[in-house]
Chains A and B, each alone.
Chain A
Amino acid sequence: MFKATLCALGLLAASGAMAHELMIMPSKSIITKAPATVAVDISASHGVFRFDKPVGVDNINVYGADGKPIRNIGTVVKSASRTSFDLPMQTDGTYKIVYGSTEPMYMTSYTIGKRDTHKRLRGTRAEVQDQIPADAKNIETVKMNRYGMSFVTAKMPTNAVLEPSNEGFEIIPVTHPADYINGEEIEFQAMLDGKAVEGVDITIKAEAGLYNGELEPITLKTDAKGMASVEFENAGRYAATFGYQSDEAGDNADKAFYTVFYTFEVVYE
């Protein structure tokens, strides 16, 4: 397990910006009414709520109050430290912003030589077979799937965008994102292909930590029903990372790593 984790870290580090935490940062998560425009920044960063690296413009998906994708989100700008757009909210309700490819990424690694040097290749084992030397050992392919999400609500909260698709790794906000209040319980549920997942590692960082020195994240795990709950003493912005490793990774990989980055606002009572 420890080895696997180290290996995973190595893999993530190998993929550049992939090692960073992904943050989708809407300028506001609760809007009085539509029509409204909400500035959204997406950045991959080591520090919470600090812009560092931009993301590709192609993998941004926005779902409207009816749960359907919104095709035209206007101009998306990729600048040096972040990727930005203005979310057009034409109707009231809850919108979901997702960044990430639905396609998993494959990494194949092996060790070689007297010192067991770690080598990594991008692709499934079949795809990179030609590049693996005959004397390679510990060949392993990992399937990685990661995405970021955030919600914005104009006027009345709606549930269409919270419904699970029952495909892949999903984090369902059981407590509605427009109802995150300090001092009240906030619940999430983790699902893999529609089934509750136990043991998902959750780390939550508060933006306030940048200013009060409390950067130690809150950590928790999902229970047998895939549920986890947390209560925040203070209102503010938070960045949660949900990570899960599975040995069931389909035909093309030995292991699967799933990660969801979820940024949200807790409002004061």
Chain B
Amino acid sequence: MTDVRLNMAKVEAEAAAPPRRRPGTALSRERAAWGFVAPALIAIGVFFAIPVFAALLLSLTDFDIYALADLHNVRFVGLQNYERLFANPLFWGAMKNTGLFAVLGVPLSIAASLAAAVILNARVVKWRPLWRVMFFAPYVTTLVATAVLWNYLLHTRYGVINWAIASVGLPPVDWLGQPENSIPAILMFVVWKIFGYNMLIFLAVLQTVPDDLYEAARIDGAGAWKRFTNVTLPAIAPTLLLVSIISVAGFFQLFAEPYVMTQGGPAQSTVTVLYFMYEEGFKWWNLGSASAVAFVLFICILAVTLVQLAVAKRMGAYE
């Protein structure tokens, strides 16, 4: 009996506890919340905030090969790295190339992945899992392996692409040897490589669009294109924004593709900002000015993203 009474008391106490404890435990709840986010915050601090701050400091010094030998050889130079950077024509060339990659590549890759997603989402398509795997495979394949493969595809004399061009009677194109062709050539490769990832995101969100909306539109007499622009696009607008932000950041950080395929050439036509930074930092070992490049790039990406957000807000993509 005592056991039961004890238990009853416990139950009563527990039942009464929540209302009593609520005002007093706001603090401890907050503490618990901090506890939960602490691992993430510590990781961000150690792997993001501290390195970024260190890079900012580094960009104000002339850390170079002499400093590697002896730390006393580092000097604080203020904004000199930035000044020299802005006076360097190769840096502006790299900015221009990166801008070109982003301006052409972002819409291209989004269009490709959206088109693939819409087609795969259609009921009439058979073997859908197979197609999904095929479209997604390039994204998960090692970059260097695919780049080597594309070097063959793009080969001037023996490449499949030029063979196709020649079979319709056009002259062959020197894809990776001529400055004016190298950016389109690399763009083709990059878009092919990454569109599968965005396609998956689009596929996921397309499946959340309710069918009755399409039905209603069809009853109202909307054709396929009308249904796409008036039902699909508004429904996936927030995702479109997310994908465009990720793509812009990705294209601004283009490095491995030109590094593997062209080494920045021909005539420095595929030197991107990140490639320029790599050469400055690891070829010439001017870590100070390489950090300055990194910061300029960071600010550029931030600015473009803010503009994208503002545009999206005006268009009502998110609240």
Is A bound to B?
no
